[in-house]
A and B are shown apart, each in its own frame.
Chain A
Amino acid sequence: MSLCPSVPLPLVIVHSIADRQLVVAVSEEAAGFGIRRGMTLTQGRALHADVEHAEYEPEKDRRTLEALGRWMMRFSPVVALDVGKTSVPCEALFLDLTGCERFFGGLENILQCVSNALAHFGISAHVAIAPTPGAAWALADSGKNLTIVPRERLESALEPLPVCALRIEREISTALNHLGLCTIGQVMHLPREVLPARFGQVLLRRIDEAVGRIPEPLIPLEHRPPIEARMEWDGAMSSPEAIWSVFQKLIGQIIPQLVRRGSGARRVDVDLLRAHAPPVRKMILLSRPSRDPVNLFNLFRCALEGLELPSHECVSRVCDEGFSGLRVTVPLFEPMGDEQISLLDHERYAGQAELDRLIERLRVRLGNDSVIQLKLVESYVPEEAWKRQEEDAETRRRGDAGKRTEGTLSADVFVSASPRPRVPASSSRPLHLLPTPVETRVMVRPSEDAEGKPAAFTHGGTVHQVTHAVGPERIAGRWWDGHDKTRDYFDVADITGRRFWLFRVTQTGRWYLHGTFE
């Protein structure tokens, strides 16, 4: 295979068949150690112990190739994947550039742009331009990178290329090699009538396609137009109700487009267009794909309430000017089946769906980071014993599964694989923790002893007399992270009954207030 991913470490792609793991592709470094296609992983490891391996996933590769092909639609509207009519797995894209050179100022420019883009993506590939797809494939496969072959030099360019570049079966090319026919030129000089009897129709067809005698039809990727709707009007409008009604009309146009694709929107961009200023954009993110018009309208209303205008424009001037158009696009959408609600779970499901809508509304109005779900983290340092849980489809699905099967917690819901970290039972933690500890003046008993327990401290302008002090609880700093301060925590109660969490840094002897047990 001609494609070698340019990874800086020895990497092989293995295909697991039963117990064996066969190497399907090697990187340049791994090839340098002598590892080849067809070896088993064990043999490869014997040649170089540190070789990394990844699983061969042809479906994913095909989808990535399709995505790359859609990206390449900026150069040509007709992009086709190489379906691979032979048994050789092909990773090639055909771009039909007929007429496109006018926009790019020549075929050389297109070639340069494409190869720059591929280099930018980190994909190493061979690019060749020829009058027929077969010829272009042959040139690229033979390693002739960045060549352009015009019509008059087609046959002479094809002659020196090896026979397997014609996309024929391996048996046929081996048979041709045995007969001493190694290049396409030699095969082309044979009399045409002989070839089908000995090698089948395929060889003749491939030669004719490469030279251009018969056309080779390509099946292009279907062009997926973006989902969008837009309305503009004369004059300026700034009343919210009017904008809402326009939005409802546009949503009415967008929902059939979503229905046609069987999808729901995950992200909706609303652009409020202005006559003499850049448009104001509001982005609505949804946690679940949705094409419910009521839901989208509510989210839009929340987004509009929290409208932030660029700081250099004062509000009154913009309201005088108003908006002259509205454009709604759906850049991200996901397949969505019709929701089926079982009778038993109806209420809980409805509650859960409402909760999702609420979270979306809060996020739209207050900002994405304002709604936080948490998980506990093993840490000695108290302020780092928890962190924000990243919301993604995996946790959402696991959360749903946990909620639908039983109403109580299931251990799957916690993202961490280790057993759930708990606060040690002997110590307690305050409900109110100050974001940063505040230094306080503390009097210790006995007063000469630096290791004593606190007797009184000053906080909020008042002196609190300590009646009980539980501690010290020593929490050592993470010296490997650079926090080398050790803290001795005391849980003190003052005479009114309030309890505070104080600590002393052993190295400096200073006291800090970290929280209150309220």
Chain B
Amino acid sequence: MQLISCHDGRLLTLEATGLRSGGGAFRTGLEALDALAPGGAWACGAVHELLARPADGKPLFVAMLLARSASESGAIVWCDPHRELYPPALAAHGVPLDRLFLLRLPVADQVWAVAECLRCKGVSAVVAAVPRLTRIEARRLQLAAETGGGIGVLLRPTGKASNIYAAASRWLVSPTPGERTLQRWTVQLLHGHGGRLGQVVTLECCRETHLVRATAELVDRSSQEKTTSRTRIAS
């Protein structure tokens, strides 16, 4: 028996979104970004993928946003096989360091480690850069996230290697020109049942105050006119 609901004029089959029992949802606090996600909020107990073009680097900022919002009391586990992460920057953005665990591990063991951490109920967010996944591994990670109740954030490059996935939602993050003290990214939902596909949200982060804002630009392709609505929310 499938649960069907009507949301914004579209039919949602809740069986597929992962908002089942044991789930729940969290919000990043940025309305424009949350509005894109399936169901208006990010699903807990699920894997979310952030894709970026290889030339644009890894979308660490958005991963940090998600990890920070998802965890009230649980641990945040970040896989760092190449020793690239800089913890004081995480602390400056407001990630509590006492709940952060860095994993220094060979790349081959990452999938196992992410699955183990997701399965644990004390962990609320796991972040890892996984270049490629087989179908079985992707499904295993999704099941582990459902068991543990936390979220998995996978950073993957766009391209053929990332065609296989089993995530609740997939987003494309790319940098966009900003101002002198503002850094900007565009975030777009690629896959996700019930979410708003094709719409682009611009995230802005002030370098000095670390305040984040989200802007939604409504693009109507047929009439080619842009309306901008700014929603000011400090996170």
Contacts and interface: CB of A to CB of B under 8 A. Distances in A.
Partners in one complex: yes
Contact of A358 (B72, B116, B176, B180): B116
A348 B84 contact: no
Contact of B98 (A409, A433, A462): A409
A428 B89 contact: yes
Interface string B174-205: 01111111011100000000000000000000
A294 to B, nearest CB: 15
A515 to B, nearest CB: 7
A313 B185 CA distance: 53
Nearest to B62: A518
Nearest to A347: B121
A379 to B, nearest CB: 9
Contact of A372 (B102, B117, B210): B102
B85 interface: yes
Interface stretch (A97-105, A319-327, A495-503): A495-503
B220 interface: no
A428 B207 contact: yes
B92 A434 contact: no
Given A496-B56, A498-B175, A431 B90 contact: yes
Interface stretch (A224-232, A248-256, A359-367): A359-367
Contacts of B164: none
Contacts of A432: 57-58, 60, 84-86
A372 B89 contact: no
Contacts of B104: 369-370, 372
Nearest to B98: A413
Contacts of A374: 87, 97, 100, 102
A83 B61 CA distance: 66
Most B CB atoms within 10 A — which of A409, A434, A460, A517? Answer: A517
Contacts of B85: 431-433
Interface in A141-200: none
Nearest to A428: B207
Given A399-B98, A497-B178, A354 B87 contact: no
Most B CB atoms within 10 A — which of A376, A460, A497? Answer: A497
A425 interface: yes
A373 B100 CA distance: 6
B207 A366 contact: no
B84 A433 contact: yes
Contacts of B86: 382, 386, 429-433, 515
Given A358-B117, A423-B92, A428-B92, A470 B181 contact: yes
Contacts of A353: 122
Contacts, number: 159
B151 interface: no
Contacts of A76: none
A366 B103 contact: yes
Contact of B208 (A361, A371, A428, A468): A428
Contacts of A354: 120-122
B102 A434 contact: no
A497 B88 contact: no
A350 B85 CA distance: 30
A310 interface: no
A432 to B, nearest CB: 5
Nearest 5 interchain pairs by C-beta: A355-B122, A351-B122, A497-B175, A433-B86, A429-B89
18 contacts: A350-B121, A355-B123, A370-B103, A373-B102, A374-B102, A386-B88, A399-B98, A423-B89, A423-B91, A425-B208, A429-B86, A432-B58, A462-B55, A468-B179, A496-B56, A497-B175, A499-B175, A518-B59
Interface of B: 55-61, 64, 72-75, 82-93, 96-98, 100-105, 109, 112-113, 116-117, 120-123, 175-181, 183-185, 207-210
Interface of A: 348, 350-355, 357-359, 361-362, 365-366, 369-376, 382, 385-386, 399, 402-403, 407, 409, 413-414, 422-423, 425-426, 428-435, 460, 462, 467-468, 470, 491, 493, 495-499, 515-518
Given A348-B73, A409-B98, 15 more contacts: A351-B74, A355-B123, A358-B122, A358-B123, A374-B102, A407-B72, A428-B89, A431-B85, A431-B89, A432-B84, A493-B177, A493-B183, A497-B177, A499-B175, A516-B57
